[in-house]
Amino acid sequence: MNKILFHAKVYVEKGIYAQAVLVEDGYIKDVGSNENILKYGDSKTQLIDCEGRTLIPGLNDSHLHLMQFGETLNQVQIDDVSGIDEMIQRSRAFMREHPERVKNGIHATGWNQDLFTDGDRLPNRHDLDQISTVIPIVLERVCGHIVSSNTKAIEILGIDGNSPQYPDGEFLLGEDGYPNGIFTGNACNFVKAIIPDFTMEERREMLIETMEYAVAHGLTSVQSNDVGTSFMDGPAAFAMFKDLYDKGEALVRYRHQVCFNNLTQFKKYLEEGAYKLEDDSEDSWLKIGPLKLFKDGSLGARTAMMTNGYVGEPDNHGLEWIKPEEMDQYCTLAKKHGMQVITHAIGDEAVRRTIDSYEKTFENGKNTQRHILNHCQITDEALLERIREDDILVAAQPIFLDYDMKIVEELCGKELASTSYAFGSLIRKGVHLSYSTDCPVEDCNPFPNIYMAVTRKNKQGEPEDGFYPGECVDVETAIDAYTTESAYAEFMEDRKGRIKKGYYADLVLLDRDIFAVDPMEIKDILPVMTMVGGKIVFEK
C-alpha cells in the first residue's frame, strides 16, 4: 500500500524543507508540497496527516552494542549508583528478586567511581563479598575496561598473587599480595567469561526488546558491535541474526561490526566465509560491516593512551590493547579482502597510532575503504589536520561530554582539552563525522546526544555558555551527522539518510519541532511515529 505523509515540516537538507512525502514499496517516490503529493493518492493510498509536526530522516547510530544493551536491561541496574554501598544493596535485592537468574553468578555493567558521592575508590573483592561469597560476582565499570569481582570469582579463575598476568591486561594485587578483585584491559574478558552466558533464545528475545526501544526513540538503523563481544560464538550469532531477519521479526536495519580473538580467526572469517550471511544484498536490512579493533582503554579509567601521560601521572600513558605490528597485520588482511576497519581510539596517542596503521593500507594515499576512528576524543591541532588530510571518518559520541567535561581538563590539562572533543571543528574541516552513543555506555536515545552536540551543556544546562562552545553545531548539522553521515560510514549515502526521491522510506515524526524549540528541550524530544522501509514500526 502506498502512503502519503502530508501537512508536515519535512527536513530535506540544510535550508530546504517540504510539506509531504510519497512512499511506495519501501522507498520515497516523491517529496514536495501538500498539493503536489496528494495528487498521487487514490482509494488504496494510506493518508497520514502529520498535523504540522516535523519529519526527519530515520536516525542511524554509527556505533553501539545493541546486544549488550539488552543484557543490561536484564541485569541489576548499577549505572546510576551513588556509591559502593548502594551497588551492594541493589545487587542483594536483585538476588532476592531473581534467584533463578543469579544462581550461577551475577554480571552487570555501569558503575562509575567518579560519580560516587562517598569517595572515588574502585570497588574490590571485599566489597563484592558483601553481596555473596557463594556465587561469582562480576561488576563492570561503565567503560568496560575495568571489572570488579568477588573472591569466589578469583577462586574460580584459579589465580593468586604468584600467577602470571593476562595478555594486554592485568589483575591488581591487594596489600596482602592476593588479587584484590580489580581487573583491567583484556583481563576483564577472562573474569567475565566465568559467568554463564545467556541462551541464544534469551538473546533473541533481548534483541527484539532493544529494537522496540530503539524505534520508540527514533533509531531506524544501527551499526552494532555484538559479535566478538557479547556473542563469542560468531557463527551461531550470525545464524540467529539471519533467522530473526528472515522471519521479519527485526524492526531496525542492522550492520555488523565484528571483533575477533586473534588473526587466525579473522583470516578464517575472510577466507572461508565462516560468518558469511547468505543474503547480504544491497537492500537487505541485515549487512556485514567492518572489522572492529580496540586500540586503548577509556579516559575515566585512566587507560586511554596519552602521548604525554596524565596530569600528575606523566609516566602513565594508558593501555595499548593491540600492538602496532598486530594492528598492521589486521589492517593488511582487511585491505586484501576489501574490508573496512573501525577502531576504538580515545587518547591522542591511540588516535595517532591508529592513523599510522590505517595509512599503511591506503591506495595511492586515499582512504578508499573508509576506515573509521571510533570516539577520537583527545586530539591536538596536528591530529585534527591529519584526520582531515587523510579523509579518515570519525564516529563521535557528543553525549560523552555530559560526564567527561568534569574530568578532561583535570586529566589532560586545559591546553589539550581545548582541542579535544573537537567534533564541530572536524565537521567544519570537511571530515565525515557521524554520531553514535556507544550504548550501553550511554542510552541509545539519540536526542540527548543531539542536544549535547548543539549546546555542549550537561543535562542540567551547565556550563551556561557551553563547554568550549566553539565546538557547538547547529541542529541541521547534528541531524545530518546522525543520518547522511552515518549512511556514508556504511557506503549507503546514495539511498539512506535523506528524505529524497529514491531513498529508503526511513522516517521519524517528532513530537515537537527540533529546529525551532529552545535547545534545552531537544534532549526531551520523542517520536510519535517511526517508519522503516515504509513500514510503521512505532506509533504513539
Residue 448's pLDDT band, with cuts at 50, 70 and 90, is: very high
Kindly report each contact of residues 155-158 with a partner whose C-beta sits within 8 Å and lies 24 or more positions away, as own/partner.
Answer: 156/194, 157/190, 157/191, 157/194
Instruction: Determine if the peptide bond prior to 440 is cis (ω within 30°).
Output: yes
| pLDDT exceeds 80 at position 275 | no
Determine the Cα–Cα distance for residues 299 and 460; give it in Å rounded to an integer: 22
If you average pLDDT over residues 330-338, what whole number do you get?
96
Determine the Cα–Cα distance for residues 218 and 240; give it in Å rounded to an integer: 25
Least confident among 235-239, 345-349, 497-501: 235-239
**Mean pLDDT, rounded, of the chain:** 96
| pLDDT exceeds 90 at position 280 | no
What local confidence, expressed as pLDDT, does residue 74 receive?
A: 86
What local confidence, expressed as pLDDT, does residue 273 receive?
A: 81
Report the candidate in 328, 381, 405 with the shortest Cα–Cα distance to residue 359.
328
Q: Write phi, then psi, for 296 (nearest 5 degrees).
A: -145, -170
| pLDDT exceeds 80 at position 277 | no
Output the CA–CA distances (angstroms, integers) from residue 359 to 127, 196, 368, 371, 458, in the order listed. 46, 41, 11, 10, 36
26-56 per-position pLDDT tens digit: 999 999 999 999 999 999 999 999 999 999 9
What local confidence, expressed as pLDDT, does residue 261 receive?
A: 86
130-189 per-position pLDDT tens digit: 999 999 999 999 988 899 999 999 999 999 999 999 998 999 999 999 999 999 999 999
Residue 445's pLDDT band, with cuts at 50, 70 and 90, is: very high
SS3 of residue 301 by DSSP: coil
* Architecture in CATH of 200-527: Alpha-Beta Barrel (3.20)
Determine the Cα–Cα distance for residues 394 and 387; give it in Å rounded to an integer: 9
Least confident among 70-84, 264-278, 474-488: 264-278
What local confidence, expressed as pLDDT, does residue 1 receive?
A: 83
Determine the Cα–Cα distance for residues 168 and 321; give it in Å rounded to an integer: 6
If you average pLDDT over residues 69-80, what whole number do you get?
90
449-466 per-position pLDDT tens digit: 999 999 999 999 999 999
Residue 184: other Cβ atoms inside 10 A = 22
Report domain extents, the chain. 75-192, 200-527
What local confidence, expressed as pLDDT, does residue 418 receive?
A: 98
Residue 73's pLDDT band, with cuts at 50, 70 and 90, is: confident
Residue 342's pLDDT band, with cuts at 50, 70 and 90, is: very high
Determine the Cα–Cα distance for residues 379 and 306; give it in Å rounded to an integer: 10
The pTM of the whole model exceeds 0.85: yes
If you average pLDDT over residues 109-123, what whole number do you get?
92
Does the structural domain 75-192 have CATH classification 3.90.440.10? no
